[in-house]
């Protein structure tokens, strides 16, 4: 059973969250500001980005849409500074598993190659306006891209919150990936389908970035080969002008591998991840070179008109009880569309499309004391029936968001969950193609 401290904190959390939802319901919405929206709440603590590898992960924030508040935070682990990975290379027998926040190579001397590479980082300072990691070599290691969608019941949470920042750093290190955390627009300022469209918009932005980076590389090599008088800066300016306001994001261009993309959604973010995965299937090759090879759904925010066993038995469960979550759904779904069998809420309604057999491998994480667990398990079972790799990881004595809530981030269950996700995901993102490719 959960500890007494967790139970007391749950009571306090539910009171505050319900009060926040009721205030949002009663507060009038300024229709003129609705399209732009908000991606964070003023009462929530956020973590500042840090573009240097002070703790093993560098971060930067990018506002990618001039017409909305949509933004992302990129998490780049220091493993990206290692030599490029070779598909046929053998794993290091002394480093089979990386710790979340511990040494990356147990037993290695203090002055190892990674430490040396960190000391030699290319730091750029333009009139003290920016100082951080700036790729300068074409030999940088390419990492898979993990697109992450935070939780918060549609109305709270952010890509740069303290809890989400901690979680994404942990995932970036354990999975050895570049994490792109999406700051989608929140309800009720922006109701459905704003958050879903933001998720797909970021994936399209990643595809555009990959194409721009490839064009820049190809045209740059051609210009140098032709003996052009353009300097690199002049060429980049002309290249950018040719594509309007488009710019090549240097971290993605140097370290991102769009052919190994994983979607990871937390709570309501899992609903967004599943929507994006479905749209990827429908788009086919239109999103090239982006290839979604897997998705991870962490305690999805699924619901339906016909209650499941857990929805009845655990309706008053910890942190996010059913009554409070219903308020969140009323804030998210337009009044004329409100239904617990809405395509955004119930993954198993008929004719939702596309066929489940076309969905990517899907790992589902559920908690024993989460009232939404049964529907998530049912969705996973439906995927397995059509031969999709869709395992379920259930954690005993765990509650909804047990691996991502600020109070529980350092719990043994949260650490084990992150490690389990890394082991499974590496089957699909490792160049060597198995989970022991650390």
| Choice among 159, 267, 317, 437 that is catalytic | 267
**Catalytic option among 78, 165, 370, 374:** 370
Q: Which of 27, 17, 31 is nearest to 156 (CA)?
A: 17
267 is catalytic: yes
- Catalytic site includes residue 288: no
Q: Looking at the DSSP assignment, which residues form a beta bridge with residue 266?
A: 298
> Contact, 271 vs 345, CB < 8 A?
yes
Active-site hit among 159, 400, 430, 437:
400
Residues 138 and 215: their CA atoms lie apart, in Å, by 15
Gap between the Cα atoms of 404 and 402, Å rounded: 6
Instruction: List the catalytic residues.
Output: 267, 370, 400
């Amino acid at each position: 059973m959960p500890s007494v401290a967790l139970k007391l904190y749950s009571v306090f959390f539910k009171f505050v969250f319900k009060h926040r939802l009721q205030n949002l319901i009663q507060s009038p919405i300024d229709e003129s500001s609705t399209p732009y929206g908000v991606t964070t709440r003023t009462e929530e603590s956020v973590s500042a980005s840090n573009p240097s590898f002070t703790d093993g992960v560098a971060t930067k924030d990018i506002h990618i849409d001039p017409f909305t508040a949509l933004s992302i935070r990129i998490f780049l682990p220091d493993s990206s500074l290692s030599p490029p990975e070779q598909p046929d290379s053998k794993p290091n027998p002394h480093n089979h598993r990386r710790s979340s926040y511990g040494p990356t190579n147990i037993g290695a001397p203090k002055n190892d190659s990674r430490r040396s590479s960190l000391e030699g980082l290319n730091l750029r300072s333009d009139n003290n306006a920016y100082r951080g990691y700036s790729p300068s070599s074409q030999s940088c290691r390419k990492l898979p891209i993990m697109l992450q969608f935070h939780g918060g019941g549609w109305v709270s949470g952010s890509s740069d919150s303290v809890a989400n920042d901690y979680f994404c750093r942990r995932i970036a290190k354990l999975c050895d990936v570049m994490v792109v955390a999406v700051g989608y627009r929140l309800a009720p300022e922006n109701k459905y389908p704003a958050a879903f469209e933001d998720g797909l918009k970021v994936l399209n932005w990643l595809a555009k970035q990959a194409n721009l980076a490839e064009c820049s590389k190809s045209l740059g090599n051609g210009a140098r080969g032709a003996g052009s008088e353009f300097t690199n800066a002049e060429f980049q300016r002309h290249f950018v002008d040719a594509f309007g306001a488009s710019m090549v994001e240097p971290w993605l261009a140097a370290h991102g591998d769009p052919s190994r993309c994983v979607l990871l959604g937390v709570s309501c973010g899992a609903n967004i991840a599943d929507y994006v995965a479905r749209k990827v299937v429908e788009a086919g090759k239109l999103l090239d070179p982006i290839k979604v090879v897997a998705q991870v759904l962490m305690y999805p925010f699924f619901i339906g008109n016909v209650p499941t066993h857990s929805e009845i038995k655990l309706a008053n469960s910890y942190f996010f009880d059913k009554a409070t979550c219903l308020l969140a759904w009323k804030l998210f779904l337009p009044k004329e569309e409100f239904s617990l069998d809405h395509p955004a809420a119930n993954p198993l309604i008929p004719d939702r499309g596309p066929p489940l057999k076309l969905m990517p491998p899907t790992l589902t994480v559920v908690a024993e004391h989460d009232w939404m667990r049964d529907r998530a398990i049912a969705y996973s079972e439906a995927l397995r029936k059509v031969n999709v790799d869709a395992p379920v990881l259930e954690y005993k004595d765990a509650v909804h968001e047990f691996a991502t809530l600020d109070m529980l981030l350092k719990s043994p269950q949260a650490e084990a969950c992150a490690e389990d996700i890394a082991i499974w995901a590496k089957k699909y993102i490792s160049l060597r193609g198995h989970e022991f490719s650390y």
